[in-house]
Amino acid sequence: MRRFLNQNNAAFSDLEQRAQNACIRFQHVELPSGCTPAQADLGFEVDSNTGSAKLLVSRGVQYQGADASIAGWFSAGMIELPSFAEMVSWLQGPIAAAFDQTDESPAPSELTPREASSGAITDMASVEAGIPDPNKPLYLDENALAAKLKASVLGQDDAIDALSAIMVRHLARKEPSRPAVAFAVGPTGIGKTRSAEVLAKRLREFDDQCTGYQYLRLDMSEYQEAHRVSQLLGAPQGYLGHGDGSQLIDALRANPRTIVLFDEIEKAHPAILRTLMNAMDAGRISSASGAKGSHEIDCRYAVFMFTSNLDAKAILDELDSRNAFGNRSVEDEVCRRRLNAAGLAPEIIGRISRFLVYRPLEPKTRAEIITLAIAEVAKEYGIDVGYVKPNVIIEIMKQVRSTGFGIRPEKYLIDDLLGPALAEAAKSGMKEPACISGPPYQCRQQAVEEDDQKPSGES
């Protein structure tokens, strides 16, 4: 309530006018000493007919002071005086006196923890030295990062090496001028999206305080109409949807270190692409959803990763004919030329700093991925896989002969073929590592499976 004690006449006159037949409310107002809680909501009302004034206060305040008028005010939840001028006199009289008692300086030994300075109860210099700088550069070993990514994304060593190089340089910049921008090209289902998914997780393993990257995937097939821009950047004030939030802006505002995957960018409306150009150039993206109109969000520390399978076969065929996989200059030239010819906006192509070329998976790599996928599917049922019989993997590869759709068909087939056996094992309460065998497909405890294969008489 201190704000009301030293106001000039003009301020009180303005408050009186605003409170005519209305309640002007103030939240979390400090109360005099002896009040519990120490803050409450206040409301001023003035009756325009009689001129009487009311000061309302949140109910439930316990007052231990000696002033009867203040005690009555808290007890009743309000005080009514014949005029607003008398209300001002009451504020500057009993209320001010109550605060004057609070302000009497106690002896140093009587200081409470609330009144003591922070420097008196801790070493603030040490605290400040220990607070991590969120913008400090992080110097990573490029090969170490690549190794971690390759453990999760199989068969794409050239693309992963390029992605690791981009991230190592980006993290080493204390004040980057723009986000890191990469464009992943290749057939569907071979690791483009997964690369972005695991990148944030692997970065945290190096330095969780500094990197702190989060992951946001935006499916561009949902942004094929121009009006979808507001879903990314927020609707302007006065338009439908204002204040509802926006996917991209909300993520970058919460954490500027965000890996944003624009999946299948060729499907996005041109208006969506135009909104990204300033972000890719200057590291700022404008939002129209602010309370005071447009404002900018800092995205210099972000990573923008685009994926596309547009004209992927022609790109891969040309690179293969020129034996140029892993050759950055040739990959860059072929990707820019082919994507431009296929209809991708040249304004976007010109702002890509690095193209990542993802190749079709070799049979050995597909077998490795299928093995890991079996373990992932089993985990969904609560089953820990200890061993998978080779025949299971071979049979799954036989049943999906087309490789044009990446690894996704195999993952769907795994659940179709092994789901019944996994569900039955989960129902039985299997806790030990399991062995997957077949066809016919079975999920049995690994120890039991090994015992059944021992020659008769062995123990």
User: Does residue 210 carry a pLDDT above 60?
Assistant: no
Task: Report d(CA 70, CA 131) in Å as an integer.
Answer: 45
Residue 132's pLDDT is 62
Count the Cβ atoms, other than its own, within 10 Å of residue 451.
Answer: 11
The H or E element spanning position 303 is strand 303-308
Output the pLDDT for position 138: 82
CATH 2.60.120.10 fits 142-357, yes or no: no
* Higher pLDDT pick, 218 / 210: 218
Among 10-19, 157-166, 389-398, whose mean pLDDT is lowest?
10-19
Q: Is the pLDDT of residue 459 over 50?
A: no
Question: Mean of the pLDDT values across residues 204-223?
Answer: 79
What are the beta bridge partners of residue 185?
308, 357
**4, 41, 236 from 21: Cα distances, Å:** 20, 19, 34
Two tokens, residue 431: 């806790």
Look at phi and psi of residue 294 and say left if phi exceeds 0, alpha if psi is from -120 to 50, else beta. Answer: beta
pLDDT for 10 equals 75
23-27, 142-146, 291-295, 362-366, range with the lowest pLDDT: 291-295
- CA 51/CA 395 separation, integer angstroms: 90
Say what the pLDDT of residue 451 is. Answer: 53
Residue 406: which pLDDT band, with cuts at 50, 70 and 90?
low
Distance CA 263, CA 31 (A): 55
pLDDT at 258: 92
Q: Which residue has the tokens 């991925």?
A: 369
For residues 170 and 135, give the distance between their C-alpha atoms in angstroms, rounded to a whole number: 12
Q: Residue 84 in contact with residue 18, Cβ under 8 Å?
A: no
The pLDDT, as a whole number, for residue 216 is 93
State residue 371's pLDDT score: 93
Where in the chain is CATH 3.40.50.300? Answer: 142-357
What gap in Å lies between CA 350 and CA 336, rounded to an integer?
A: 8
Contact present, 40 and 105 (Cβ < 8 Å): no
Task: Give me the pLDDT at residue 133, please.
Answer: 65
Residue 392 near residue 441 (C-beta atoms within 8 A): yes
Average pLDDT over the chain, rounded to an integer: 83
Burial 416-429 (b: 16+ CB within 10 A, else e): ebbeebbeebbeee
**For range 28-35, the mean pLDDT:** 83
**Comparing 54-68, 162-176, 285-299, 323-337, which segment has the lowest mean pLDDT?**
285-299
What is the dihedral angle through the alpha carbons of 96, 102, 107, 113, rounded to the nearest 10 degrees?
-150
> In the prediction, which pLDDT does 170 show?
93
Q: How far apart are CA 318 and CA 450, in angstroms?
A: 50
pLDDT(348) > 50:
yes
3-state class (DSSP) for residue 187 = coil
pLDDT: is 25 or 305 the higher one? 305
Higher pLDDT, 122 or 250: 250
Q: Residues of 163-199 as b/e, b for ≥16 C-beta within 10 angstroms?
A: bbebbbebbeeeebebbbbbbbbbbbbbbbbbbbebb
pLDDT score recorded for residue 427: 92
| Contact residues for 30 (Cβ-Cβ < 8 A; gap 6+) | 1, 2, 38, 39
Query: Alpha helix locations (H) across 245-327?
Result: 247-254, 270-282, 312-321
Residues contacting residue 68 through CB under 8 Å, at least 6 positions apart:
none
Q: Between the CA of residue 426 and those of 385, 415, 417, 420, what are the distances in Å?
A: 12, 14, 16, 10
- Give span(s): CATH 1.10.8, the chain: 363-451
231: pLDDT confidence band, cut at 50, 70 and 90? confident
Residue 127 has pLDDT above 60, yes or no: yes
Q: Which two tokens stand for residue 131?
A: 């607070």
Amino acid at 410: E
Q: Report the C-alpha gap between 417 and 282 in whole angstroms.
A: 51
pLDDT of 228: 76
The yes-or-no verdict on residue 201 having pLDDT over 60 is yes
Question: For 258, phi and psi rounded to 5 degrees?
Answer: -125, 135
Look at 287 and 65; give whichever has higher pLDDT.
65
**Interior CA angle at 158 toward 152 and 164, to 5°?**
65
pLDDT band at 112 (very low <50, low <70, confident <90, very high): very low
Residues 429 and 369: beta-carbon distance below 8 Å: no
CA distance 12 to 85: 9
CB atoms within 10 A of CB 454: 9
Mean pLDDT in residue range 374-383: 93
3-state secondary structure of 82: coil
Rounded Cα gap, residues 161 and 181, in angstroms: 15
Q: What is the DSSP letter of 172?
A: T
CB 277 within 8 A of CB 351: yes
In this predicted structure, the answer to whether residue 456 has a pLDDT above a threshold of 80 is no
Listed residue (220, 167, 168, 213) closest to 193, CA to CA = 220
Indicate the range of 235-239, 320-324, 397-401 predicted with least confidence: 235-239
Token pair of 246 as six digits:
């926006």
Using CA atoms, how far apart are residues 134 and 258, in angstroms rounded to an integer?
13
Q: What average pLDDT does the segment 113-130 reach?
A: 65
CATH 1.10.8 correct for 363-451? yes
Task: Name the pairing type of β-strands 180-185 and 78-81.
Answer: unpaired
